[in-house]
Amino acid sequence: METAAALNIYRNFLAQFVVFNEAEWIVFTQHLTFSTLKKKQFFAVPDKVCDQVGFIVTGSMRYFHIKDGQDITGYFSFENELVSSYKSYLTGNLGITYIQALEDTKLINISRKAMEQMLANPMLAYKMERFGRLVAEHYLCCYEDRVASFITQTPEERYLLLLNTGREILQRMPQHYIANFLGITPVSLSRIRRRILTVAS
Amino acid sequence: METAAALNIYRNFLAQFVVFNEAEWIVFTQHLTFSTLKKKQFFAVPDKVCDQVGFIVTGSMRYFHIKDGQDITGYFSFENELVSSYKSYLTGNLGITYIQALEDTKLINISRKAMEQMLANPMLAYKMERFGRLVAEHYLCCYEDRVASFITQTPEERYLLLLNTGREILQRMPQHYIANFLGITPVSLSRIRRRILTVAS
DNA sequence: TCATTTTCTTATCTTTTGTTAACGTTTTGA
DNA sequence: TCAAAACGTTAACAAAAGATAAGAAAATGA
């Protein structure tokens, strides 16, 4: 896919938050960088600052932690979504999570520096503040739901909810990643699936 | 406490996000409302839109859900913090959580309507976008940590973390609220505390 | 293509958590 | 002040989850 097409996809995505006119768009795009990650390459690693917010043109990414030598999946991002270790990106603190390409992935990136420049540029400042606000609010809402599900639901209930709402994750991710995402072990998820099947039949 | 003093506290709090000049401050304060909640009164309830973001001048609030007739605590807010059912406030969707005053609580509120008016007012728009962005980013970071703790830590590890970082919650909240906050039952927390004491001695 | 790796399930055993109930203590509110 | 409610601990049992290992099927990659 050529750059122009990718940029167009990004522009459509951005339109749900903020609409740029032609002059603004030209300046905005000058602050972007393009990158490709081969499968298994890392977008972010612990103990380094994550200095990019990526937009996934094609591909997918997995967020995970390593604890006691074990790999624990926390989240996924797919085409037409943003990806970042947000806290690290926003605060400049060292990140705590790995973000890895699950397949060859094309990204359009905004670096921290570019973001700061645009926020300081009178031509773009207002729209970038608004863009930042709406994106942060969007993810805040996602997290609010996710925390609520950990507090009020059992793992089995969380899995049943995912069956109804998480088509893409279920179809594209191996089950042991999904298990971690639900806060349980792969073995436990396998048992839950068995329970559900047994009850259903 | 008189209104002027409360407003001054709010202004100091806001300064970590955005600094208003005198003219802006006058207009901003015209969009605020003051309220007092008696202990046990509700700031938000499920199935209604939460149309305020409150700043707690004095007092404290508890977020909770009711599931199968049981009350499950999700979060707390104290003096000098904001309180809202954010997703509901931000999207206009019906809320899913109760937010209740734990003691008599004084609040300074920004209604959804007032926020929209300020975002549409050229005099304040830029700073309000920025304010909204920084607040949302702040809470996004909090949630990111909280979700990570649910995925990577056991309840016991979460409690030990709270012992190190959650002084205010530990001191001011009854233990069965803290248990829910950690994602477990009060009985289970009592056992965890026993285990820790046994090991420590 | 074919050996290797990944993935999922199942079994066993241990640990933890949930549930319910009882009991004493503390707090609350009329 | 005093009865009622709330709170924390403990016990007993059931249910669920974690850890580990084994085995089969599927996917991967050289």
A15-35 pLDDT per residue, tens: 999 999 999 999 999 999 999
Q: How many CB pairs under 8 A join A and B?
A: 98
Q: CA–CA distance from A81 to each of A8, A128, A160, B140 (Å)?
A: 14, 18, 24, 17
Tokens of B109: 């509120």
Mean pLDDT along residues A153-160? 94
Residue-level pLDDT at A158: 94
Residue B29: CB less than 7 A from any atom in strand C: no
Residue-level pLDDT at B2: 82
Number of residues that this document lists for chain A = 201
Three-state helix/strand/coil letters over B17-74:
CCCCCHHHHHHHHHCEEEEEECCCCEEECCCCCCCEEEEEEECCEEEEEEECCEEEEE
Nearest CA among B36, B17, B40 for reference residue B28: B17
Question: Per-residue pLDDT for B69 more than 90?
Answer: no
Write out the DSSP string of A20-82: --HHHHHHHHHTEEEEEE-TT-EEE-TTS---EEEEEEE--EEEEEEETTEEEEEEEE-TTSE
Lowest mean pLDDT among A144-158, B113-127, B160-174, B176-190: B160-174
**Contact residues on chain B for A133, CB-CB shorter than 8 A:** 129-130, 132-133, 136
What H or E segment, with its residue span, contains residue B75? strand B70-77
Tokens of B175: 């233990």
Question: Per-residue pLDDT for B200 more than 70?
Answer: no
Number of residues that this document lists for chain B = 201
Question: Per-residue pLDDT for A201 more than 70?
Answer: no
B112 in reach of chain A (CB within 8 A): no
At A85-113, the pLDDT tens digits run 999 999 999 999 999 999 999 999 999 99
Residues paired with B107 in a beta bridge:
B35, B56
Residue-level pLDDT at B166: 82
For residues A166 and B158, the model is more confident at B158
Confidence label for B196 from pLDDT (cuts 50, 70 and 90): confident
Mean pLDDT along residues B68-85? 92
3-state secondary structure of A183: coil
Most confident by average pLDDT, A109-113, B151-155, B157-161: A109-113
Name the residue in chain B with its Cα closest to that of A88: B141
Confidence label for B156 from pLDDT (cuts 50, 70 and 90): very high
Q: Among A146, A152, A183, whose Cβ lies nearest the Cβ of B72?
A: A152
Q: For residue B80, how many other CB atoms are within 10 A of its CB?
A: 13
At A6-16, the pLDDT tens digits run 999 999 999 99
What is the distance between the alpha carbons of residues A148 and A150, in angstroms, rounded to a whole number?
5
What is the distance between the alpha carbons of residues A152 and B74, in angstroms, rounded to a whole number?
8
Mean pLDDT along residues B171-188? 92
In chain B, what are the helix, strand and coil shares in percent, each to the nearest 5?
Answer: 50, 20, 25
Confidence label for B201 from pLDDT (cuts 50, 70 and 90): low
At A120-146, the pLDDT tens digits run 999 999 999 999 999 999 999 999 999
Name the residue in chain B with its Cα closest to that of A141: B87
Tokens of A1: 């896919």
3-state secondary structure of A138: helix
Residue-level pLDDT at B68: 84
- Give the largest CA-CA distance in chain B: 63
Mean pLDDT along residues B16-32? 96
pTM flag (> 0.85)? yes
Residue-level pLDDT at A144: 94
Q: CA–CA distance from B168 to each of A171, B163, B164, B172, B193 (Å)?
A: 43, 10, 11, 6, 18
Mean pLDDT along residues A66-81? 91
Confidence label for A167 from pLDDT (cuts 50, 70 and 90): confident
Nucleotide nearest to A177 (CA to C1'): C7
What value does the mean pLDDT of chain A take? 93
- B 61-80, residues with C-beta < 7 Å of strand D: none
Nearest 10 degrees: CA dihedral of A181, A182, A187, A190?
Answer: -110
Cβ–Cβ < 8 Å for B198, B165: no
Q: How far is B49 from chain A (nearest CA, A)?
A: 14
